[in-house]
Amino acid sequence: MATAHSRHSETRSLLQAHAPAQRQHPPSTAPPAFIERLLEPTDVRINGTRPWDIQVHDPSVYQRTLRDGSLGLGEAYMAGVWDSEQLDETFARLLRHDLDSALNHAAKLHFAFHWLKDRLINRQSRSRAFTVGERHYDIGNDVYQAMLDPTMSYSCGYWRDATTLDEAQLAKLDLSCRKLELQPGQRLLDIGCGWGGLAAYAAAHYGVEVVGITVSRQQAELAAERCRDLPVDIRLMDYRDLPRDIGGRFERIISIGMFEHVGVRNYPAYFDVAARLLAEDGLFLLHTIGNSTTSAVTDAWTDTYIFPNGKIPSAAEITRALEGRFLVEDWHNFGPDYDPTLMAWWQRFDAAWPELRANYDDAFYRMWKYYLHASAGYFRSRQGQLWQIVLAKRSRPGAYRSVR
């Protein structure tokens, strides 16, 4: 299991391995002409005066970005080579013009390596299933308790009628339960239950019995503690082991913020497991981040530092895997709601940093800031989507009534 010390030592080692050589005299930070041409349509300038302009402290950022694409850009930020006063808006402007794709194509060798890796290796295989739990979710519950709302929901809130993060997350949990048409006495399977927020809410407010699974040991331990007095069973396990280890069928299944770890080549197996466990007249709610287009390659910086072996699905990839397995009863996109969710997480994390820094170093702070702000920009640009998809078998009678 990863510890805070080992996780942050690993971050420092990665940064040191890619650190630029020391210079005797400060060189010019003016950008190469190629970089200026790339930035021109985005209205982001190098060393400009607007809050979203990029301030370059060392020109090594250009070489690192052209060589390694998004990985080099992110590592340069973590190393303090460049800054932006309004980092979230910087990324919103860059991603609105798909500059991430342009940079990765410019870094041809790096892009080709990751393309081949995604094609040749099942990066979300059973043997790798627990990697993201160990390297992301197990970094320390103190970070997540400081950053998240009291339900510890680590997914997009629903802001339609909400003005605070707490309200938005409770609204999302209730929206999810209403879409599932939960009734007292039903069994609910929560695939990727996190710290048990949805499981606890559904059990307490809708009278259902819940089995929740996660690949994070720290999540499982804290979720079990938080759900101790409720009819909730939390287990540390991979979804592929569900048919063997969980008996019977469930009237309802939900998966919030876990599908991004499944991987395209595993979608058929994932939906086959869900179909095997769902009652003939049951409902399955899939809550997932989505990409506006199908992308062959996972973002290299995010894969290295945040979500190893992750893959954001496109609508085409999901529907291709659903065909012959489930009907789509409802498809709800509230992707713009992820922007205020992420910025609220950042505000809470930043406010808690004076206490957190005793266990985490400054490299972790810059990494986490980059992660949350870049993610907010991703959704603000509308490249990122957030989908709640209600699924059912053909055997389910009657029409489904959409809920918002």
- Compute mean pLDDT per 10 residues along the chain, 404 residues long, and list them: 50 54 57 88 96 97 89 96 98 92 60 53 62 80 97 98 98 98 98 98 98 96 97 96 90 97 95 97 98 88 92 97 98 98 98 96 97 98 98 96 96
Residue 72's contacts (CB-CB under 8 Å, 6 or more residues apart) are: 18, 61, 64, 65, 66, 107, 110
Interatomic CA distance for residues 212 and 228, integer angstroms: 13
pLDDT at 45: 96
pLDDT at 23: 45
H helices present in 69-135, as ranges: 70-78, 87-96, 99-106, 108-120, 131-132
- Contact status, residue 271 vs residue 326, Cβ threshold 8 Å: yes
Interatomic CA distance for residues 149 and 376, integer angstroms: 17
Strands 54-56 vs 209-214: parallel, antiparallel or unpaired: unpaired
Residue 279's H or E segment, with its range, is strand 278-291
Interatomic CA distance for residues 106 and 100, integer angstroms: 10
DSSP symbol at 404: -
Domains, the chain: 4-120 (no CATH), 126-392 (3.40.50.150)
Write down the pTM of the prediction: 0.89
pLDDT at 167: 98
pLDDT at 2: 47
Residue 286's H or E segment, with its range, is strand 278-291
